[in-house]
Amino acid sequence: MKDVWSAVQDPLREALGAQNYQIWIEPIQLSGTAKGTIHLRVPNRYFGDWVRENFAATITDELRRHLEAKVRVEFHVDGEAPATANSPAGSDGPGGGKQQASGESDPPPAKAFPGIALDKTFGNFVVGTCNQFAHAAAQAAAEAPGETQYNPLFIYGGTGLGKTHLMHAIGNAMKQRDEQVHLLYVTAEQFTNEMIDALRYRTMPDFRDKYRKRPDVLLVDDVQFFSGKDRTQEELFHTFEDLYKRGKQIVFTADVLPREIKLFAPRLRTRCESGMLADTQPPDVETMLAILRQKSEDMGLTVPADLGQWLANRVRGSIRELEGVLNRLKALSRLHGTTPTIEFARQHLNGILPEAPSAPTVDAIIQTVASFYGLKVAEIKGTRRLKQIVRPRHVAMFLTRKLTDLSFPEIGRAFGGRDHATVQHACKKIRGLLIKDADLRNTIETVQRMMLR
């Protein structure tokens, strides 16, 4: 087993990405193997804690795959007792408590919130115009579960925009109100895999009992994963019907609207659309800055105001991406023993964040809107007032005002020589419609994503 660590380097680099590999895996050294245990030496205690919490499962899986055997991993700093992949450094060392292999750990301590992340609550969810409606709908579902207006609640939007946070917040709020409520949170992939196992091992009655008889609230994440999985969709449909008839709350999340999920059964689509559809949009710079402050405070990371503004301007609308950047910044600043600055971030986040955000041009906006609606640029800029042209024209004007520094008169000139009052009217009209028109909000989000590709 002496060459085992060398053998898994390439798979780890591929699984974790080049930057994570360089920072966190390369410094680790194999210090020995014995009786199915692989001892890995890390530079310091903090480094070991971070690797164990974030990458231990991947490391153990790769080692097991290579060796085709069950092994456990221990991390240690010279002069300190080893720590398994599942226990804090220094605890359960030799002569101490029982050590477990990664992947064979004791069940986690019993929680009052099974499957629900305790740190994702309504209290630490930053509300902005991008997610205000989804936040309000989630709170309403948590306060009055099972009411027809919010059942099912279907939260949709791009990756990393807070859908899962809202789902967990619903669970936490309901548990806080009633400790006896039975919550069941599952990803669509987990649901599918459990159903496949139940079919394989002939345990479908147990599977159905779990999802139909027990939960008061069913929370299913990433419903788009069910695309094309007919047997799983059939099971989900009957689960939905059973829970809904008994007044149980159902919450789904997906990247897109139900009707935009490819190969999604019509009867499931109509069930999803029968309750409340609530979208999350990419946050603007101000909301992103507020989220940055909240998350950096939660993780105990000091981010100077100028660095916060610099980061908020460069992270392109994804809260998950922002979390990743802050986690990396925290780890690097602790390793270097310094408070992060713009220069520090520039040096160590090179390749992750652009040096400067590139604002789209008015021509790029018009082209993208025209492409989305299946129109020609000349029609957007023209004078025809057909309904199928006026709405896209107004959307293009609204996005130009939002995403560029152009004044109303300048926008008017770019749209075929219109006066500033026409542009003002278009922007005001779209702002008003966004409050109540979920389809339009989704359109605006989609067009913005198209421009960032």
Q: Could you tell me if residue 155 is inside a domain?
A: yes
Please identify which residue in the block is written with the tokens 């004007």: 397
Tens digits of per-residue pLDDT, 326-346? 998 999 888 888 999 999 998
Does one domain contain both 156 and 264? yes
The predicted pLDDT at position 80 comes to 56
CATH number at residue 9: 3.30.300.180
Measured between alpha carbons, how far is 182 from 446 in angstroms, rounded to an integer?
A: 36
The predicted pLDDT at position 452 comes to 57
CATH number at residue 222: 3.40.50.300
What would the mean pLDDT of 268-276 be, rounded to a whole number? 93
Measured between alpha carbons, how far is 326 from 143 in angstroms, rounded to an integer?
A: 33
The predicted pLDDT at position 79 comes to 56
The predicted pLDDT at position 98 comes to 32
What would the mean pLDDT of 353-372 be, rounded to a whole number? 80
304-310 contacts at long range (C-beta below 8 A, 24 or more positions apart): 304/339, 304/340, 304/341, 306/342, 307/340, 307/341, 307/342, 307/345, 310/342, 310/345
Tens digits of per-residue pLDDT, 47-90? 777 788 778 888 988 888 888 888 888 888 765 554 545 443 33
CA distances from 301 to 188, 298, 312, 318, 341 (A): 33, 8, 15, 19, 12
Alpha helix ranges (H) inside 246-376? 266-273, 285-298, 305-312, 319-336, 342-348, 362-373
Measured between alpha carbons, how far is 137 from 150 in angstroms, rounded to an integer?
A: 7
Tens digits of per-residue pLDDT, 225-248? 999 999 999 999 999 999 999 999
Name the nearest CA neighbour of 248 among 275, 276, 216.
216
The predicted pLDDT at position 220 comes to 96
Q: Using alpha carbons only, give the angle 399, 400, 403 rounded to the nearest 5 degrees.
A: 75
Residue at which a domain ends, from 252, 280, 308: 280
Q: Could you tell me if residue 409 is inside a domain?
A: yes
Question: Which helix (H) or strand (E) covers residue 140, if one does?
Answer: helix 132-143
Name the nearest CA neighbour of 250 among 278, 226, 277, 220.
220
- CA within 13 Å, CB half, 320: 9
Q: Find the domain containing 338 and state its range.
A: 285-348
pLDDT-based confidence at residue 100 (cuts at 50, 70, 90) = very low
Would the pLDDT of 107 be above 50? no
Give the tokens for residue 311.
């980061």
Please list, residue by residue across 173-208, b when 16 or more beta carbons sit within 10 angstroms of its beta carbon and e when fewer do.
bbbeeeeeeebbbbbbeebbebbeebeeeeeeeebb
Would the pLDDT of 317 be above 80? no
Would the pLDDT of 19 be above 70? no
What would the mean pLDDT of 315-330 be, rounded to a whole number? 84
Measured between alpha carbons, how far is 106 from 238 in angstroms, rounded to an integer?
A: 34
Query: Across the strands, what pairs with 187?
Result: 221
Residue at which a domain ends, from 297, 321, 348: 348
The predicted pLDDT at position 204 comes to 95
Tens digits of per-residue pLDDT, 396-437? 999 999 888 889 999 999 998 999 999 999 999 999 998 888
Q: Could you tell me if residue 108 is inside a domain?
A: no
The predicted pLDDT at position 108 comes to 36
Residue at which a domain ends, from 66, 84, 102: 84
Does one domain contain both 159 and 256? yes
pLDDT-based confidence at residue 105 (cuts at 50, 70, 90) = very low
Does one domain contain both 274 and 146? yes
The predicted pLDDT at position 224 comes to 94
Give how many domains the chain has, as a whole number.
4
The predicted pLDDT at position 438 comes to 78
Does one domain contain both 143 and 268? yes
Q: Could you tell me if residue 90 is inside a domain?
A: no
Would the pLDDT of 441 be above 90? no
- Strongest mean pLDDT among 26-35, 281-290, 382-391: 382-391
Q: 257 with 289: CB under 8 angstroms?
A: no
Name the nearest CA neighbour of 414 among 446, 369, 355, 350.
369
- Contact partners, residue 91, CB within 8 Å, separation at least 6: 83, 97
For the chain, the average pLDDT equals 84
Measured between alpha carbons, how far is 261 from 269 in angstroms, rounded to an integer?
A: 9
In terms of C-beta density within 10 A (0-12 exposed, 13-18 middle, 19 or more buried), how is residue 29 classed?
exposed
pLDDT-based confidence at residue 316 (cuts at 50, 70, 90) = low
The predicted pLDDT at position 92 comes to 36
pLDDT-based confidence at residue 394 (cuts at 50, 70, 90) = very high
The predicted pLDDT at position 88 comes to 39
Does one domain contain both 220 and 241? yes
The predicted pLDDT at position 355 comes to 62
Would the pLDDT of 97 be above 70? no
What proportion of the chain, given as a percentage, has pLDDT over 90? 40
pLDDT-based confidence at residue 118 (cuts at 50, 70, 90) = confident
Q: Could you tell me if residue 50 is inside a domain?
A: yes
Tens digits of per-residue pLDDT, 151-185? 999 999 888 889 999 999 999 999 888 888 999 99
What would the mean pLDDT of 137-147 be, rounded to a whole number? 91
Count CB atoms within 10 A of the CB of residue 326. 21
Q: Could you tell me if residue 355 is inside a domain?
A: no
How, if at all, do strands 83-84 and 72-76 pair? antiparallel
Does one domain contain both 62 and 178? no
- Contact partners, residue 105, CB within 8 Å, separation at least 6: 86
Does one domain contain both 414 and 438? yes
Does one domain contain both 137 and 244? yes
CA distances from 396 to 74, 308, 412, 448 (A): 57, 30, 11, 11
241-244 contacts at long range (C-beta below 8 A, 24 or more positions apart): 241/271, 242/212, 243/212, 243/215, 243/218, 244/151, 244/152, 244/271
Q: Could you tell me if residue 114 is inside a domain?
A: no
pTM above 0.75, yes or no: no
Does one domain contain both 276 and 178? yes
Q: Could you tell me if residue 150 is inside a domain?
A: yes
Q: 43 with 17: CB under 8 angstroms?
A: no
The predicted pLDDT at position 299 comes to 87
Does one domain contain both 384 and 316? no
Beta strand segments in 181-280, E: 183-187, 217-221, 249-254, 276-280
pLDDT-based confidence at residue 15 (cuts at 50, 70, 90) = confident
Does one domain contain both 184 and 271? yes
Would the pLDDT of 365 be above 80? yes
CATH number at residue 300: 1.10.8.60
Does one domain contain both 163 and 70? no
| From 76-90, 109-123, 287-301, the region with the lowest mean pLDDT | 76-90
- Contact partners, residue 34, CB within 8 Å, separation at least 6: none
